[in-house]
Structure 1
Amino acid sequence: MDQREFTRRLLLKSTAGILGTAAVGRILPARAATDELRLWAAPIMRPFDTWAPFEEKAGVKLAWSPKSASADEALSKMMVGGGRKLYDVFTDNGGGMEDAMAENGVIAELDPSRMTNWGLLRDEVRDPNGEAAHSIRYQGKVYAVPYIANADSLAYNKSMLGQDYDSWEALFDPEFKGRTALQNDFGPTMTVTAIYLHETGKMSIKNRSDMQPDEIQGVAEFLIEKKKAGQFRTFWNGFQQGVDLLASGEVAMMSCWEPIQRVAAKKSGQDIVYGTMKEGHQVWNNILMLTTDAAKAGKDEAFYKVADTVLSPWYTTRQLSRFGFASLTTGMVDYMEAHAGEFDVADLKATLKRKEQRYAVAGNAWQNVYPTHLRTYQEWWSRVQAA
């Protein structure tokens, strides 16, 4: 089943539920005033204890609803679940979602000229022909604003292992049987596994971000074989479990988000390192999108204020400091040096340097939560989970 057929079935499947809800008189909240935005976003969008500093900087009041890391939930809610009436602005769950949302009329086309800080974006995303241009565009038109980005890698406990690692090979090496972990999500886990298998010559995979059915099967079967052999201690779910696995020493290494490594290292006091893998990494950015309903209701001006704020070094430097996430923008180094009393400048510069090293690896593949053969991914991932 290809992407369009999956979307069609998703729409048909959900229509009955929506009509049933309407029949019992579900009333959606009235849309807020134009100076307030209803934001559905992951907690990582907020590098502050509260939204107050952000609201003050942007000059916009936010009514925030926390968003989970489930791409399926986001696709369902925004395309068939009335999300456009509930929220004005929302974040994605990784690359490819902007295509699905734009294709189905959920999000509004954006005008970069209305953002003062648009010019701070790096060429690879701002330039329509840039390597990351696709991550905010649909059919060449801009539909999103990036607010964080990264290249996900392998975290390993150097205090425990006594050496550095620069290959995904270690994650699958029988020497570390039962002491490794992977994320319980088909997107990042199958992508980094595909990168490893392709770059080491074990499989030929044309597009590691959008595999064909036989390639998906091959990657899944490799993971199933390793899982049955006891290679993995577990498949982690959620930030806290990831931190606990690393900090406790329960696992010696695992594929994970960079903030997990940072918090685990601080919590444990051990030298837990976020490496650069020679085969490549899953690279991604997270984006902000404006719903078509909000645009029609005159919420676009408030959206552009929020967009300018997330593109500013004031915001991106604080994201880097709190969560270890950077962005596809410039200006952070100058900003942190000008406000040295607020940041550990040397640490943040070192973090940025390591990110640039990861971004530069030739085998990198972009995250794609809406691949062409999504159903095949889901079906084979279910087999990996059940193995």
Structure 2
Amino acid sequence: MTDHKKGRPLRRRSVLKALAAGVGALAAPSLIHHSIRRAHAAPGTIRMMGGPTVALKDWSQFEKDTGLKMEFTSFNVDDVGALYNEILANDAGERFDLINTLAGVQKPMVKQGQVAQLDTSRLKNYAGIADSVKRSPVLYAGDDKDWAVPLYYNADSFGYYPEKLGLARPPEALNWDILLNNEKTLGKASIDGDNIALMIGGMYLKDRKLAEIADPANMTASEVKTAADYMIERKKAGQFRNLWKTYDEQIANFVNGEVLVQRCWEPAVKDVKGRGQDVEYATCSDFHINWMHATSIPVQAAARENLEEIYRALDWFLGGSYAAELAVLRGYTGSRMDLGLEYAKAAGWPADKIAAVEANITKVKTKFLNPNFWIGGAPDDLAAHDAEMARFRNA
């Protein structure tokens, strides 16, 4: 490719930076590039970039089952601009074999040729995944092809202190007024510091029939402005103590006692409960936030000599060991929980851990009975969402 105006070859990096600029506002990358000296991993090692809740505390079972080493780098995958910057401008595919994202985020990458089409015949555990999961609106690109593996999913809500707020415990249902519009929680609530906050605002307005919003996860410019207006109104009323950006900030909000209710990830509640805090994760009567994590093979990795190893690692994530461990560790549902339950029983796990796996399966089935909203993290008009989020953040 040549820049005909200047008569010199265009560098791939500059082309991708231009593409990235068209996807949405870019944030500064959060990975430390100088710590990765080789372009890709040594033979027998899988490099994976993904959200912190994807990682296990111990990869020894992965290593035992696959004969591979795992080199995992955490990334805040809910920050879509930073993720696109990492992939498009900073060549993440040159450095990683697998990239994990919030499902939906991968779709623009598919269109721009950054994601390799999956050969699902090389994934023995893939066929058993429910079609409703494989063809969910955030995973399926609508072209009858498979581009990403559904890693795990959940129906999200919020964490809260039942005793301090005088509220019931799960499975008795609460509603989103507790987080967004409640005198008891005024100044003691927290919500995402990214576009998901506006999507939640859109869900609330749609559910309450307070605004005409077709799809809260993919709002038009006028719809997202309406959602932002409502969230700014609540912010100015003093509803929110702060807006969090990271998992650690979610933990700190609960531990330091400043927040009594918080839109957060379920593992944050599990973590805080493990520290002796009386926190619960709400089951809601009005709506939940459906989401999924997906993992893709970058096009650069698909051309490398370790592709067989990459598929071996990817299939392991669809197996029973990972599903069972994740259910206990994070409270999330793997795409093959049937294999997870089989694994836990066959491995002789203690009764309480097996019960936790079973409870996880039941919990997600219950939550998915509600009218739910899927979030994909990458709305069509990402620029409008970014602009409105900046307005909400700065209000």
TM-score, L = length of structure 2:
0.84
1:323 alignment partner AA: R
- Could you list the per-position Cα deviations for residues 354-386 of structure 1 after superposition, in whole angstroms to 9, with x for gaps in the alignment? 222222211x12112221110000001001110
Identical positions, percent: 24
In structure 2, the partner of 1:10 is 21
CA spacing shift, 1:273–1:33, aligned 2, 3 Å: closer
Please show how residues 122-271 of structure 1 align to structure 2 within 5 Å.
122-126=130-134, 130=135, 132=136, 134-137=138-141, 139-164=143-168, 166-175=174-183, 176-187=185-196, 189-270=197-278
Alignment partner, residue 295 of structure 1: 302
CA distance in 2, matches of 1:299, 1:330: 28
- Mark the CA change 1:241 to 1:28 in structure 2 (over 3 Å): closer, same or farther: closer
Give the whole-Å Cα distance in 1 for the aligned partners of 2:140 and 2:45: 24
Q: Distance in 1 between matches of 2:205 and 2:24?
A: 36
Decide whether the 8 Å contact of 1:136 with 1:145 is kept in 2: no
Structure-1 separation of matches of 2:167 and 2:215: 32
Structure 1 residue 43: Cα displacement = 3.0
CA distance in 1, matches of 2:303, 2:390: 40
Which residue is equivalent to 2:29? none
Farther off after superposition, 315-324 or 328-337 = 328-337
Aligned to 1:22: none
Q: Report the CA distance between 1:282 and its aligned residue.
A: 1.8
| Greater length-normalized contact order (CA 8 Å, ≥ 6 residues apart) | 1
2:328 aligned partner = 321
Superposed displacement of residue 133, structure 1: 5.9
Matched AA of 1:10: A
**Structure 2 counterpart SS, 1:150:** strand
User: Structure 1's 136 and 299: CA in aligned 2 closer, same or farther, altered over 3 A?
Assistant: farther
Structure 2 Cα separation of the partners of residues 325 and 13 of structure 1: 29
User: CA offsets per residue over residues 293-316 of structure 1, 9 Å max, x none?
Assistant: 211223321121111110111111
Distance in 1 between residues matched to 2:308 and 2:39, nearest whole Å: 19
Number of equivalent positions: 361
Contact 1:28–1:86 (Cα < 8 Å) also in 2: no
- Residues 109 and 381 (structure 1), Cα distance of their counterparts in 2 relative to 1, 3 Å cut: same
CA contact (8 A) 2:23 2:382 kept: no
Matched letter for residue 43 of structure 1: P
The Cα of 1:37 is off from its aligned counterpart by 2.8
The question of whether the paired residues in 1 share the 8 Å contact of 2:158 and 2:262 is answered with yes
SS in 1 for 2:205: helix
Change (3 A) 1:103 1:215: same
Q: Is the 8 A contact 1:319 1:326 kept in 2?
A: yes
Q: Structure 1: which 5+ residue stretches go unaligned? A: 1-5, 15-26
Partner of residue 20, structure 1: none
What runs of 5+ residues in structure 2 fail to find an aligned partner?
1-16, 26-35
Q: Do 1:40 and 1:89's aligned partners in 2 also have CA atoms closer than 8 Å? A: yes
Q: Which has the higher helix share?
A: 1
- Relative to the length of structure 1, the TM-score reads 0.86
